[in-house]
Amino acid sequence: MNSTPQGGPSLPQQRKLVTEIPGPKSRELLERRQRSVARGLSHVLPVFVAAAGGGVVVDVDGNSLIDFGSGIAVTTVGNSADLVVDRVTEQVSQFTHTCFMVAPYAGYVEVCEQLNKLTPGDHDKRSALFNSGAEAVENAVKIARHATGRDAVVVFDHAYHGRTNLTMAMTAKNMPYKEGFGPFAGEVYRMPMAYPFRWPGGPDKCAAEALDVITGLIHAQVGEENVAAVVIEPIQGEGGFIVPPDGFLPGLATFCRANGILFIADEIQSGFCRTGDWFACDHEHVVPDLVTTAKGIAGGLPLAGVTGRAEMMDAVHPGGLGGTYGGNPVACAAALGAIDTMLKEDLPAGARVIETLMLPRLQALAATHPVIGDVRGRGAMLAVELIRPGTLEPDAAAAAKVAKACHSEGMITLTCGTYGNVLRFLPPLVISQALLDEGMCILEDAFARL
């Protein structure tokens, strides 16, 4: 194999193992990594990447792996997608940076126009661009506090919003995200999540009971008039791909509206076609006041956005928002290429096709393996939760074992969940049906050998 393989969609769409995983070149790099990279950064897979595209990742030893992770829901349009490469190449040869706050450029405005058009609701909107998901969440909270003149922020059990100081406070799980990193930002209040599989009263009562508990707690412990925003992932990502029951998100949005609280949807993982709609909120026609986006927006380049009602976004004084690199021209070019790809290839429909192919097989797997307690998700954001059969007791060891078995067979799959017991599947939306099928066979084998 060529030592520098060309990535992108033309990369052979096949699984191919030519060495053990990791191979000798990856092992050598792993050793160098150990000596040079801080221990705090872990990795899921012990292989180093040489190229990627479509539904495969090729490592430095020439192994071609099936990608069921998309770099954590980022390469929705595939790695090095043609339109992304074209736009980025053109942009990078024109100029790489001026700082939008110094001398603006059209790409930034065009991305904001697309965000305003594509996010839920047809009201007048404004957007602002940043570098990372965490930074977008931080800015959404800044805007909400400024627009309401209130301090409190309500978040949920199992939530993930980032690793900066404020977003660590908003993230639920201690290990590994928060352990030893406090003290955390104040005025963050955590509520129970409508988690159908684990709701004490059962999934049918989950929506109504959760809304009762949450609105009661906000009233008693925070005071509605003190709450600037309720921040929620419409399908929770890192916390376990938890899909709230129908009626929960609309009920929460109605409560917020009635009390002058901004409803902020963190669509960083669930947005941009991933769940079979442009945004997960679209599923129940929920219209958030502010939406945070990142990951899938720019085909792998770092970009994030906050989009919201014009009057709320514009409540902030000129100069109150910004950052050196936010909305970098190359990242904006990538986003325009990625969004163009999503539109041209109708990738929301692509995600629904993936659901149709994968969900029945995951359900069949659950029917034969009692270690699978729950199958859930939408579109190409699917998961199984592993438990000790007949209980709700999480089985993280089983999830790790299945994931590892998949890795050594040449398939990238990720785990998640507060208890680490959820296997999640996030294939690029451009993956071929043949690779999807082969990936499912590997998963089925891994469960059979468990």
| Site residues, ligand PLZ (CB under 6 A) | 72, 132-134, 137, 160-163, 233, 237-238, 266, 268-269, 294
* Number of Cβ within a 10 Å radius of residue 408: 14
Collect all residues with Cβ–Cβ distance below 8 Å to 258 and sequence separation of at least 6. none
State in angstroms the smallest separation of the CB of 238 from ligand PLZ.
5
Strands (E), 144-207: 152-156, 188-191
Q: Is the CB of 3 or the CB of 42 nearer to ligand PLZ?
A: 42
Q: Is the CB of 64 or the CB of 413 nearer to ligand PLZ?
A: 413
State in angstroms the smallest separation of the CB of 140 from ligand PLZ.
10
Q: Is the CB of 195 or the CB of 447 nearer to ligand PLZ?
A: 195
Task: Provide the residue type at 95 as one letter.
Answer: F
- Give the C-alpha distances (Å, rounded to integers) separating 402 from 293, 384, 409, 419, 420: 31, 11, 11, 16, 12
Q: Is 176 helix (H, G, I), strand (E, B) or coil?
A: coil
State in angstroms the smallest separation of the CB of 304 from ligand PLZ.
6
Interatomic CA distance for residues 38 and 342, integer angstroms: 36
Q: Is the CB of 266 or the CB of 340 nearer to ligand PLZ?
A: 266
Q: In the bound complex, which residue of the shown chain has the CB atom lying closest to ligand PLZ?
A: 133
Interatomic CA distance for residues 183 and 198, integer angstroms: 30
Q: Is the CB of 156 or the CB of 160 nearer to ligand PLZ?
A: 160
Strands (E), 299-410: 304-309, 372-378, 381-386
Q: Is the CB of 271 or the CB of 373 nearer to ligand PLZ?
A: 271
- Give the C-alpha distances (Å, rounded to integers) separating 95 from 15, 83, 108, 332: 38, 18, 13, 12
> Please, are residues 159 and 235 in contact by the beta-carbon 8 Å criterion?
no
Q: Is 16 helix (H, G, I), strand (E, B) or coil?
A: strand
Q: Is the CB of 163 or the CB of 388 nearer to ligand PLZ?
A: 163
Is the peptide bond prior to 22 cis by the omega test (within 30 degrees of 0)? yes
Interatomic CA distance for residues 23 and 10, integer angstroms: 24
State in angstroms the smallest separation of the CB of 329 from ligand PLZ.
19
Interatomic CA distance for residues 448 and 175, integer angstroms: 30
State in angstroms the smallest separation of the CB of 38 from ligand PLZ.
14
Q: Is the CB of 303 or the CB of 443 nearer to ligand PLZ?
A: 303
Interatomic CA distance for residues 233 and 212, integer angstroms: 19
Q: Is the CB of 138 or the CB of 385 nearer to ligand PLZ?
A: 138
Q: Is the CB of 238 or the CB of 289 nearer to ligand PLZ?
A: 238
State in angstroms the smallest separation of the CB of 356 from ligand PLZ.
25
In terms of DSSP H, where are the helices of 188-247? Answer: 203-217
State in angstroms the smallest separation of the CB of 129 from ligand PLZ.
13
State in angstroms the smallest separation of the CB of 135 from ligand PLZ.
7
State in angstroms the smallest separation of the CB of 294 from ligand PLZ.
5
Burial letters 127-141, b for 16+ CB under 10 A, else e: bbbbbbbbbbbbbbb
State in angstroms the smallest separation of the CB of 15 from ligand PLZ.
25
